[in-house]
Each structure stands twice: as C-alpha cells, then as structure tokens.
Structure 1
Amino acid sequence: MYRPNVTVAMVLKSGDRYLMVQERDKLSGEVVFNQPAGHLEENESLLQACTRELYEETGITAAPLGLVGIYSLQAKNGVHYLRFCFYGELEQCLEPKPQDADIMTCHWLTHEEIQSLALRSELVRQCIDDSQSRPLIPLSHLSYQVG
C-alpha cells in the first residue's frame, strides 16, 4: 500500500530573522538550508513532532502558534513527502545548540539572506513566504487521538 512520508517543519521567526538549519543533503551531498524539520514518529502528534524536531535540530524549545499549511512534494529522490509546516515566534534570537549530529550549524537569517541560499527544496522558501502572506490555521483544527 502506498504511503507518503509525513514530515513536520517549523518557521521560527524573531524580529526580522528566521531560524535556519544547515545540513548536508544525503542524496546530492550538497550543503543546504532548511527550517528545523523531520519525520513524524510512531505514537506522536504533529505538534509533538514539530516541537521535538525543533529541539533536536536547534536546542530551542518553542510552541507553534499556528499551522502555515500542508504541502505535498514529490522529491528528487523519488519519495513523496506530505509536509505540515508550523509557525512560531520568539522575542529574541536564542543561541541555537543542535542536538542532532546531522545538523552542521544553525543561523538566524533575514528573508533577503535566505533568497540566495541553496535550499533543501523550494518548500523552504514557500513556507516562509506563506507564513507572512496568509492567515495561520488555528492549532485547534488539529486533532490527535489514540486508539
């Protein structure tokens, strides 16, 4: 049976800067930038996955304020990803301390700085743009049930 890979991402903003992680693309070997993001794990809600991935990749704890959108991507590696992108804000840029060995480093960057970067996919830029140009979907629209 066909099942897309479910991923979560967090657009985290402080002032005019966005938190970006720098990592090596496992397919191409290129160094790319992404939002803190990763896969939904078994017995985990989307919100739990989002906050866990944010912490693992940056060492920062922050709660999402809303859902930016749900995105479908047929990636270059042949995998279909269903991405749930969340949005959060911090009053100040906290110093990131990645817990995940796959993250090379983290940066707080302006929208303009992000435009010239090699991105993991075009969804990275689209999620940032969408977070600023459309209303957030309330978290109350998400439901997680066990059993």
Structure 2
Amino acid sequence: MSYREGRFWQPDVTVATVVERDGRLLIVEEASKGRLVLNQPAGHLEPDESLQEAAVREAREETRWDIRLTAFIGAYQWSAPALEPGGKARYYLRFAFVGEALGEDPSRTLDDGIARALWMTADELEQASDRHRSPLVWRTVADYLAGQRHPLSLLQQA
C-alpha cells in the first residue's frame, strides 16, 4: 500500500535497447500526446516474459529489425508528470540493453503509433532533445556512449 496514494503502487516496467550500426543509432519516431517523439525501441514488459525477451520483441515490433542483445546498460527510474492539473504522475522503471542489428524484415507491420524507424547519429539525437519521449532517451544513450556495459547474466528470471 502506498502511503501517498492510499492504495497499492506499482511502476510501469519498460525495456529499451540501444542498437548502433555504422555509427548510427536505431531510433523510433512515434506518436505521443499529439506529437511525434523520438525514443529507442522500447515498451512494456508483458506477463510471463523475461526482460530480454521483451527488449527483442519491442525492437522487432517497433522497427522491423531482429536484434541480439549483447549487454545490459542499466536500470532507470523516472516520474512522468501528471497530464492534467490535479492528475497523478506515472512512474517508470526502465531496463536498458545494448543490441546488435541482425536484419530487417520490411514486410512486417509497425506497431500502432509508430511512424517510422530511422538511424540517427548520437549528435543528431542529442540536438533533437526537445523531441525525446522522456529524459531517459538521452540518459540511456549517454551511458551507452560512456561505455557502460554489464553482462546480461546480471538479470535473472526465476
């Protein structure tokens, strides 16, 4: 039970993957709150799915690319402000990975709300910070660029 809300509290658990190829990052342009924003291939963990399975699935559904995870970058917490005055904030716990692009299947349909997948340099992505879906987009890339890598074995599923 959450002290502040007087009920059980549970954050949204999400995954995201940084995929780099030829000096460019795989980025998703998606509709959010009436505008097109930029994000890594990312999304929510589904029941009975491992974090790694979710990351691979989200990349496939949002970009048409098959990927292989190679490392874990880190876990991040973020509170999204309430959309309306008096509304409640949403809380996210994001698990970020490094992935390797294996191949694209252009016949796949992109998830609803996804406008397109594109490849951007880190500089291009940083300069478009006003279009990032959340502060976690750049934070994850910055940690990736700084060489932050952990073994996938750090995350266990029982």
- The partner residue of 1:2 within 5, 9, 13 is 9
RMSD: 1.7
- The partner residue of 2:101 within 69, 81, 90 is 90
Q: For 1:45-94, what per-residue CA distance to the aligned partner results, in whole angstroms no more than 9, with x for missing partners?
A: 00000000000001111111111110000012410000001011338x85
Secondary structure of the corresponding residue to residue 120 of structure 1: coil
Secondary structure of the corresponding residue to residue 29 of structure 2: strand
Q: Return the letter of the residue paired with 1:7.
A: T
Corresponding residue of 1:35: 40
- The partner residue of 2:111 within 96, 100, 109 is 100
Q: Answer with 1 or 2: which has the greater Rg.
A: 2
- The partner residue of 1:15 within 18, 22, 33 is 22
Q: Kindly indicate which of the two structures has a greater share of residues assigned to strand.
A: 2
Alignment of 1:1-147 (within 5 A): 1-26=8-33, 29-77=34-82, 78-90=89-101, 94=104, 99-117=110-128, 118-145=131-158
Runs of 4+ deviating beyond 2 Å: 93-99
Structure 2: unaligned runs, 5 residues or longer: 1-7, 83-88
Corresponding residue of 2:3: none
Q: For 1:70-122, what per-residue CA distance to the aligned partner results, in whole angstroms no more than 9, with x for missing partners?
A: 0000012410000001011338x857665212100111000111122210011
TM-score (norm 1): 0.89
Secondary structure of the corresponding residue to residue 52 of structure 2: helix
Structure 1: unaligned runs, 5 residues or longer: none
Q: Return the letter of the residue paired with 1:122.
A: P
Equivalent pairs counted in the alignment come to 142
TM-score (norm 2): 0.83
